[in-house]
Amino acid sequence: MLRIGLTGGIGSGKSTISAIFEELGAPVIDTDAIAREVVAPGEPALAEICRSLGHDLLRPDGSLDRAALRRRVFRDDARRRRLEAITHPAIDARMRQRLATLPEHTAYVLLVIPLLLEAGWQDRVDRILLVDCPETVQVQRVVSRDGIEPEEAWRMVRSQASRDARRQAADDVIDNDGSLERAELTARVQRLDRRYRGAAD
């Protein structure tokens, strides 16, 4: 089974691209979704986050206040690294579990890993597919999506790997600066889907 690592900065449009792959029948394992699972109430990672970063990050219902956590860690690199040291192993273990459940005849799987470079997980994948756009576009999208101030969005963008580093690491790139219609993005994903299936064969 070919493992394709889909990555890109925050607000680059990874969800749009992974959804198109899913429409084409490719299995998708999204580590963003897994990241939310591993910090759900009752999960060991949530208890460790509270011990390490503060019990005030819990909502009254026992769930994690993700917005408060984001504000806390993106203003402090040491705290962000502490959070990643807690969550990354849990995410990695669950991703491997999901991989193990896929049918043997699966041609390829799309692993959506936003922090693929930052986590050093290049060895988890056979090819890296980058969804790329200018940083100014990322910030605009994050501000619009999350309702946060531009300064906070810029902090989030700059805490991740640089655009140049991602492009150098990528085997395939989809430019998603907003100039392409959905049909054009779909056509690009269809070409990659055929290529990946051919490589798997």
The two three-digit tokens of residue 79, written as one number: 């705290």
> Model confidence over 167-201: pLDDT tens digits?
999 999 999 998 878 899 999 999 999 999 999 88
> Model confidence over 36-71: pLDDT tens digits?
999 999 999 999 999 999 999 999 999 999 989 988
| 3 state SS of 158 | helix
**Angle of helix 44-53 relative to helix 66-73, nearest 10 degrees?**
50
Q: How confident is the model at residue 75 (pLDDT cuts 50, 70, 90)?
A: confident
pLDDT of res. 201: 81
pLDDT of res. 182: 86
pLDDT of res. 9: 95
The ranges assigned to domains in the chain are: 1-27+107-201, 35-101
pTM: 0.92
CATH classification code of 1-27+107-201: 3.40.50.300
C-alpha–C-alpha distance, residues 169 and 130, integer Å: 9
